[in-house]
Structure 1
Amino acid sequence: MTENRRPPVELHRLIHALIQDGELVKRFRDTPDAVFSQFFVPREQVEMLKSDPQSAFRELGVHPNLQFKYLGLSGLLNLKPASIRPFLERDDTSWGK
């Protein structure tokens, strides 16, 4: 986050609301500009998020947990399925000592 920039309070509020409200997520995916407006997210931040969300998050100082949630709720997060089973089934009794 640049030194003169204030924390992205409106964006944080939007992300928290998305986490709690499935209907809001649907509206956000269909009409993101209307939802950004509803939460008073500054236009500059909206444009940054539209052009490159990950860079925008870094520049704005958005917490990594909220970044992850925003990307997932926005449909922008594509993760391959993963399992910790290989780690758990490992025959290695040295870990934890």
Structure 2
Amino acid sequence: MAEADGATAAPRPEPDPDNVSWIEPPVCPKCGALVRIYPTNYDRWVSLAAVELPAKDVPEPFRWRLTRLPDPSRLTTDIVAVRVRGVDPLPSEPVVPAHRMMCVPD
């Protein structure tokens, strides 16, 4: 399922608590674009584009949404990527495309 969804990214490295330097966003090694790496709802990681697009502009296999996970105290603790499946979003509804859809190697 992860390979079919394109959820094959490496997990983000854990930041060193003693290092206070700025953490740069990851960059795609093929095209040089900024990517957002998120965990999925099934323990894999996916590289997503840095922008949201209307669902009509993103083919169905590349549509993702970012969902907040509540903890027991009702505070949001983390965000996971969830593939848009089952019910198609409205054409104007924003979705996050998988980076592999946007990747254009130099």
TM-score after normalising by structure 1: 0.25
Point out the structure with the larger strand share.
2
Q: Highest relative contact order (Cα 8 Å, sep 6+), 1 or 2?
A: 1
| TM-score normalised by structure 2 residue count | 0.24
